[in-house]
Amino acid sequence: MTEIWHSLTKAIELLVSLDPEVIEIAGRSLRISGTACLLASLICLPLGSLIHSHRFPGKRALINIIQTLFSVPTVLVGLLVFVLFSRAGPLGVFGIILTPTAMVIGQVVLITPLLLGLTISALSGVSKEIVDTATSLGASRFQTVWLVLREARYAVLAGVILGFGRAISEVGCAMLVGGNIKGATRVMTTAISLDTSKGELELAIALGIILLFLALIINIVLNRLQQR
Amino acid sequence: MSLIEVVDLSHGYGERQVLKGLNLGIGKGEVFALIGPTGAGKTTLLRIVDLLEVPGAGEIYFDGKCIPRSGKQRLEIRRRMSFIHQKPQVFNLSVYDNVACGLRWRGEKRNRIAQRVDHILETVGLEGYGNRNARTLSGGEAQRVALARSLVLEPEVLLLDEPTANLDPVSTAKIEQLISYIAKQHNTTMIMATHDMSQGQQLAGRMGVLLDGRLAQTGNATDIFRSPQTEQVAHFVGMENIVEGVISASNEGIVMVDIGGNVIQAVSNHPAGKKVYACVRPEDITLALSITQSSARNSFRAKIMLVTTLGPLSRLEIDCGFHLVALVTKMSAEELNLQAGKEVYATFKATAVHIMEKGIRQ
């Protein structure tokens, strides 16, 4: 018990003193997951609009598959990216395995289904009458899609934030494709994992507190958005 | 040549056939009211004319050109029209952005948009509302935003679907004023769907009665109200008294209609022996306690069966050998002490009777 207490006070010391290692790791986490979230948004918002606004055979099945992939295990995504990008893999020539780039790709793959599914369901929340109104006011197909995306902006943004939350809190993929290399690919979750297994709790607890704090901020923002 | 020509239009949703072979021509600058009960197909017709839907069968001509069933030309033609939907759907944007969006979609210049939006907001009485979120407005205000959003485009054709259906009387009056102002100022062609006959009468030059997917009758308001061509139209326009009979004599434009022993005189040229309906509007029947000298040719002794109050009016069901409904002001009903069981004289003019050939069903 005293050990936990001791680690906790040390962790708070690390946080208050803005320990360079803590700041570095937290900053890298935010950078990698932020980039992944941005890239995933750039893919999912247009793609989601496209899927939503078109009727095609197998649409329902596609949406079901997307929703199933919401809960794909992170290590599985890590495995996939590892197999693809490892030196001997089909995309090994890029030489990005064990770099932040590989981690970004892994997180993009991880949150794309979630973001896509939430975007489609957000767009479905915009009534057909809104679409008809835009069309009869002379909007082209593209202009209508853009308006619908704007109408659903709060719900879409909520999806993006959830995606960011999933990206920054995952361990499996970051560990597999990043390798938890100090000063290069070590992020908050992998650092917690390693330090805990080494029995050095203070850094782990400090990073844990930051992660919880991030989760709190995400929740507050989400609540605000959902009230609009 | 009509600006809009609808030819042999049929349309259905699944099994249900909504429009059944409809033909209609709307002239340039004409204000046309489409009246009919809910579910008659008014909205569907407007949606097809606005090119929101592709008809199951039939063609739409706009300005002489047949509209293709798909392709870019539909957008170009749609941009010359504007459609005000029954339930105003405002976008979750500011009032200004709501009104400006149609102009932006047409690629108008920013300063020109600002000028026109400000002007139209003033016209509909929403000046100063520009920065409000349109979702926070009342129903009447939202409908005015919807109207402004359409009018700012200065469309050649304005389609209105029950523009005042969900509004209170004050808002309704405002919207009606605006519609007639626009029709006069801009010479805009309008097709307005309404189930409110008096609104159609007030705003439109010509009207069509849409019943069960077919245009049962078109004409000016007087024609439709006084001379419905079918039993269904007669019912819809409030001809409560439709009695069956046979013409027993016809002489110089006056006919005698035999209603099971009673005879009604009417103005008509139908020959003797023809089976007809005689229609009388309830407000054209006057009631008195004794026979009065008047020019009215029809007078019947009747017994009051039922009295109901309709706001300022009293509706009386009377039996004079055949069943009639009469409307009198509540005040005169009270003065004459009209109540069930009492005997009265029901009087109406021969010109108030509309004779309709029996068996015309569309």
pLDDT tens digits, A161-170: 999 999 999 9
- Can you give the pLDDT at residue A36? 97
* Residue A227 scores a pLDDT above 80: no
- Can you give the pLDDT at residue B361? 47
Interface of chain A against chain B, CB under 8 Å? Answer: 127, 129-130, 132-140, 143, 147, 150-151
- Can you give the pLDDT at residue B318? 93
Name the residue with tokens 């109207």: B147
| Bridge partners, B349 (sequence order) | none
Q: Do A134 and B101 touch (CB under 8 A)?
A: yes
Upper half-sphere CA count for residue B59 (Cβ side, 13 Å): 9
* Residue B360 scores a pLDDT above 60: no
Which of B49, B75, B97, B105 to mutate against chain A (most A CBs within 10 Å)? B105
Average pLDDT of span B298-324: 90
CA distance B328 to B313: 6
- Complete DSSP assignment for chain A: -HHHHHHHHHHHHHHHTT-HHHHHHHHHHHHHHHHHHHHHHHHHHHHHHHHHH---TTHHHHHHHHHHGGG--HHHHHHHHHHHHSTTSTTGGG--TTSHHHHHHHHHHHHHHHHHHHHHHHHHTS-HHHHHHHHHTT--HHHHHHHHHHHTHHHHHHHHHHHHHHHHH--HHHHHHH---TTTT--HHHHHHHHHHHT-HHHHHHHHHHHHHHHHHHHHHHHHHHT-
| B166 against B235, higher pLDDT | B235
- Can you give the pLDDT at residue B357? 84
Average pLDDT of span A58-68: 95
Q: How confident is the model at residue A52 (pLDDT cuts 50, 70, 90)?
A: very high
* Residue A146 scores a pLDDT above 60: yes
Q: Do A138 and B153 touch (CB under 8 A)?
A: yes
Q: How confident is the model at residue B222 (pLDDT cuts 50, 70, 90)?
A: confident
Average pLDDT of span A56-81: 94
CA distance A183 to B110: 51
Across the A:B interface, residue pairs with CB atoms under 8 Å apart total: 54
- Chain B nearest-CA distance from A129, in A, is 7
Q: How confident is the model at residue A228 (pLDDT cuts 50, 70, 90)?
A: low
CA distance B230 to B238: 13
- Chain A nearest-CA distance from B43, in A, is 13
Q: Which amino acid is present at B41?
A: G
Average pLDDT of span B59-87: 92
- Can you give the pLDDT at residue B49? 95
The CATH code of the domain at A2-227 is 1.10.3720.10
pLDDT digits (tens, 9 = 90+) for A182-217: 999 999 999 999 999 998 888 899 999 999 999 899
Contact (Cβ atoms closer than 8 angstroms) between residue B174 and residue B125: yes
Contact (Cβ atoms closer than 8 angstroms) between residue A215 and residue A165: yes
Q: How confident is the model at residue B174 (pLDDT cuts 50, 70, 90)?
A: confident
Residue in B47, B93, B149 closest to A137 by CB: B149
| A159 against A1, higher pLDDT | A159
Contact (Cβ atoms closer than 8 angstroms) between residue A144 and residue A13: no
* Residue B263 scores a pLDDT above 80: yes
Q: How confident is the model at residue B221 (pLDDT cuts 50, 70, 90)?
A: confident
Which of B78, B92, B143 to mutate against chain A (most A CBs within 10 Å)? B92
Which of A128, A133, A146 to mutate against chain B (most B CBs within 10 Å)? A133
First to last CA, chain A: 45
Average pLDDT of span B297-309: 90
Which of B50, B75, B94, B158 to mutate against chain A (most A CBs within 10 Å)? B75
Shortest CA distance from A151: residue in chain B: B92
pLDDT digits (tens, 9 = 90+) for A96-113: 999 999 999 999 999 999
Angle ∠(B206,B310,B334) on CA atoms, nearest 5: 125
Task: Give me the count of residues in chain A.
Answer: 228
Q: Do B106 and A138 touch (CB under 8 A)?
A: yes
Q: How confident is the model at residue B201 (pLDDT cuts 50, 70, 90)?
A: confident
Q: Do A137 and B153 touch (CB under 8 A)?
A: yes
Beta strands (DSSP E) in chain B are: 4-13, 16-26, 31-35, 57-62, 65-66, 81-84, 157-161, 189-194, 206-211, 214-219, 241-251, 254-259, 262-267, 275-280, 286-288, 298-310, 313-319, 323-329, 343-348, 353-357
Q: How confident is the model at residue B137 (pLDDT cuts 50, 70, 90)?
A: very high
H helices within B187-308, ranges in order? 197-203, 221-226, 231-236
pLDDT digits (tens, 9 = 90+) for A83-94: 999 988 899 889
Q: Do B83 and A143 touch (CB under 8 A)?
A: no
Q: Do A136 and B82 touch (CB under 8 A)?
A: yes
- Can you give the pLDDT at residue A137? 95
Q: Do B89 and A130 touch (CB under 8 A)?
A: yes
Cα-to-chain-centroid distance, residue B346: 30
Q: Do A133 and B150 touch (CB under 8 A)?
A: no
Q: What percent of chain B has pLDDT over 70?
A: 99
Q: Do B91 and A147 touch (CB under 8 A)?
A: yes
Q: Cβ–Cβ contacts within 10 Å for residue A111, how many?
A: 30
pLDDT digits (tens, 9 = 90+) for B75-131: 999 999 999 988 889 999 999 999 999 999 999 999 999 999 999 999 888 999 999
Q: How confident is the model at residue B362 (pLDDT cuts 50, 70, 90)?
A: very low
Q: Decide: helix, strand or coil at residue B111.
A: helix
- Can you give the pLDDT at residue A41? 96
Shortest CA distance from B79: residue in chain A: A138
Q: Do A138 and B93 touch (CB under 8 A)?
A: no
Average pLDDT, chain B: 89
Residue in B87, B92, B105 closest to A139 by CB: B105
Contact (Cβ atoms closer than 8 angstroms) between residue A76 and residue A82: no
